[in-house]
Structure 1
């Protein structure tokens, strides 16, 4: 659950942004290192290995050193043991992207449960987890996971030739096929390490938080996660009303609340018109949440050494679970309102052909290759619901939404401006929309 191309800051030139971002990053990390006990972390790791000493690999507070260790939510520290072994410590950052403290224990536990399942039940290459802490109530001072270091570079940081990329795709197709061999009965997230139990989808927008008083301090406690769900439609029927409420109260999309409200209001209505594609029940498959390419680790020969960063993973129905990874998208085409697949997606689809078709006559009973070919509708819907976007991304977001309408073959000839005028008239009687329009003047 790390950064996506949507999460960028607007209204400054690129150089000013880089300087301001680097200063904020260094300030955040210095504060984090003051708040945590690194010695407690290395001692915990040493004890797990029978007393073999270790230390945190040093890095400088400059962009070249920090960026590879940072995600939007996690900081990664490499622990080096005296005998040459290396472990990775995954710690929660403290910034504007950080999820509420009440949510983090559930996210960590679900991630550990996912690694546990993948290592025990499948052949998917993932790191081994040695220890974890769910929250800051431990000697280290923050929630963390201690895990095996996966050697190699992430695919996003490499420049593979077409042949090397084909080699990666062939291996990734085997990962997809392996995940297909292990269905689950519900849509949700693994929630108990060592178990295959499916609980609610661990998503920050799905968290019901209760404000409680603890002496002089007010803190949030998790009251509820809804779910698990029997199909994708029920999931969105729960999620979208929450987003609409957050838009109205100013917690989401504050700079373009009317546009966001209209989009989500229309998408909610669209759920009732969607085909069997989101009503499928019975079998669900584990899906990586943030498959933009840096989750795939490769060696110098482009052999996959591991699939990492399973934070936020959830089980999805086949037609959504086996869409193409973000890493294979042609972003220009994706945001052009067209359905065009990249050459890599087409190649990946061919590698998956023949897997996942049981032969029964059912609209959703297609092979995994066709899940890739027909997957843009799921990808665009997922992007259009709940993403936090900044001003510079609005045009791409609108294009993704208009592309979604093309998928449904509705409002085929309309521009964004024409569609917005239609939606304003359609929902003119909605009191929440009227409130937003008054607020924006």
Structure 2
């Protein structure tokens, strides 16, 4: 759900940032961290993530490591973020069999031979699922079923680790225990120039309070009638849709970007790695272990969903490769049913949470990324009011609701909770 950028907040491009890195110093640091001090070679062509430059390192005995170097200039906020991310990754690696990178060395300051913060981790085998999902020579019903079953099996393990509040996982070194602390600046905000390590909000003991608090902070800072109207409507959905029975503890650790670019698989589709846990938080169960993988919920983020069918004009040859690599809404709905079936076999008690988890995800995206908000609100309005017994509600649209909000003549009570919850179901 994070925005992606290849330019740091001080205007430095990624290529110029890379040119200044001393790869010999990086290799030397890896050699010092490795038992036996084996010689190490750094592959000169890195991979670029949203917030990190990634290098692959190979030792003389064939062992491979990964070096992740933040792009943003060092700040106390960056140091805090790296420390929190390490806590989450160490917790998962210690308490589950989810294949995540093991942290070998993590330096959160510039006081080292590289002159930059960095993290050295083990290398995970496998191929990014994003490279295989639309490959007709690999993508089969059996491979897809294996991916879903393997992924659901791994993620369901997080249900065994309950926490009392919503926030960020932290560790008390004095007493040797984990605890839930407040939210701190995210990688996105640090990339945008945030340098303060001070906490932002939380922790929360309620899903509704957490969601409404995040919206309220945006309302306070909002300018313009349209933006304010969107936020009021978003607040209505956030206040009504989540199931009251799921409002309180327990809460669970969740992956912040559960996309197929972060899933590694073998030739048969077995998951060999789940990477990029930066910005992991503890939150509601329907947004954590029970959620759908985000690449099969693409249609619930309409602005970012690039699928086009023949009825929308043009043909496949006119579309970019990216636009072609989208599953249709009908296909995505079928994939969600398949994943739900796989999860139900593992955890029938929580399966109903999975069924509606794509709605919770869309709600969180709309809160976090304002540019997606109008389209997601339109999708929610269609979902909530379509098929309502009240004929007047059938004709309600996002635009009409927004307009009535801006005129100050629309209140939550004029619709009522029973009409906001389609078929008596919650997310």
TM over 0.5: yes
Measure, in 1, the Cα distance between the counterparts of 2:61 and 2:226.
57
Q: Which residue of 2 aligns with 1:435?
A: none
Residue 281 (str. 1) matches residue 248 (str. 2): yes
Measure, in 2, the Cα distance between the counterparts of 1:188 and 1:348.
28
Alignment map for 1:302-341 (pairs within 5 Å): 302-321=269-288, 322-329=290-297, 331-332=298-299, 335=302
Deviation at 1:278, TM superposition (A): 7.7
Q: Which residue of 2 aligns with 1:138?
A: 112
Alignment map for 1:58-137 (pairs within 5 Å): 58-59=44-45, 69-94=47-72, 101-137=75-111
Deviation at 1:408, TM superposition (A): 4.4
Residue 2 of structure 2 contacts residue 188 of structure 2 at CA under 8 Å; is this kept in 1? Answer: no
Alignment map for 1:13-24 (pairs within 5 Å): none
Measure, in 1, the Cα distance between the counterparts of 2:291 and 2:90.
24
Deviation at 1:380, TM superposition (A): 1.7
Measure, in 2, the Cα distance between the counterparts of 1:80 and 1:419.
58
Q: Cα deviations across residues 12-33 of structure 1 (Å, max 9, x unaligned)?
A: xxxxxxxxx89xxxx7233213
Q: Cα deviations across residues 195-246 of structure 1 (Å, max 9, x unaligned)?
A: 53222234539989xx9xxxxxxx9432323222112222223322322344
Of 177-186 and 413-422, more deviation after overlay is shown by 413-422
Q: Which residue of 1 aligns with 2:334?
A: 343
Residue 106 of structure 1 contacts residue 191 of structure 1 at CA under 8 Å; is this kept in 2? Answer: no
Measure, in 2, the Cα distance between the counterparts of 1:406 and 1:145.
45
Describe the shift of the 1:30–1:153 C-alpha distance in structure 2 as closer, same or farther (beyond 3 A): same
Describe the shift of the 1:75–1:279 C-alpha distance in structure 2 as closer, same or farther (beyond 3 A): same
Q: Which residue of 1 aligns with 2:26?
A: 41
When normalised by structure 1's length, the TM-score is 0.73
Measure, in 2, the Cα distance between the counterparts of 1:197 and 1:225.
17
Residue 55 of structure 2 contacts residue 68 of structure 2 at CA under 8 Å; is this kept in 1? Answer: yes
Residue 168 of structure 2 contacts residue 183 of structure 2 at CA under 8 Å; is this kept in 1? Answer: yes
Residue 380 of structure 1 contacts residue 403 of structure 1 at CA under 8 Å; is this kept in 2? Answer: no
Residue 78 of structure 1 contacts residue 89 of structure 1 at CA under 8 Å; is this kept in 2? Answer: yes
SS of structure 2 residue aligned to 1:223:
coil
Describe the shift of the 1:220–1:174 C-alpha distance in structure 2 as closer, same or farther (beyond 3 A): closer
Describe the shift of the 1:269–1:414 C-alpha distance in structure 2 as closer, same or farther (beyond 3 A): closer
Q: Cα deviations across residues 87-122 of structure 1 (Å, max 9, x unaligned)?
A: 00111124xxx8x83432222112211121111111
Measure, in 2, the Cα distance between the counterparts of 1:292 and 1:76.
18
Residue 150 (str. 1) matches residue 117 (str. 2): no
Deviation at 1:165, TM superposition (A): 1.1
Measure, in 2, the Cα distance between the counterparts of 1:47 and 1:189.
32
Measure, in 1, the Cα distance between the counterparts of 2:15 and 2:119.
20
Describe the shift of the 1:47–1:343 C-alpha distance in structure 2 as closer, same or farther (beyond 3 A): same
Residue 184 of structure 1 contacts residue 284 of structure 1 at CA under 8 Å; is this kept in 2? Answer: yes
Measure, in 2, the Cα distance between the counterparts of 1:272 and 1:183.
24
Describe the shift of the 1:334–1:207 C-alpha distance in structure 2 as closer, same or farther (beyond 3 A): closer
Structure 1 runs (4+) deviating above 6 angstroms are: 205-208
Find the partner of 1:182 among 155, 161, 180.
161
Residue 189 of structure 1 contacts residue 315 of structure 1 at CA under 8 Å; is this kept in 2? Answer: yes
Deviation at 1:333, TM superposition (A): 6.2
Q: Which residue of 2 aligns with 1:414?
A: 396
Measure, in 2, the Cα distance between the counterparts of 1:334 and 1:269.
19
Q: Which ranges in structure 2 are unaligned for 5 or more consecutive residues? A: 306-328, 411-427
Residue 91 of structure 1 contacts residue 145 of structure 1 at CA under 8 Å; is this kept in 2? Answer: yes
SS of structure 2 residue aligned to 1:198:
strand
Alignment map for 1:248-397 (pairs within 5 Å): 248=223, 258-274=225-241, 276-277=243-244, 280-321=247-288, 322-329=290-297, 331-332=298-299, 335=302, 342-353=333-344, 367-387=349-369, 389=371, 397=373
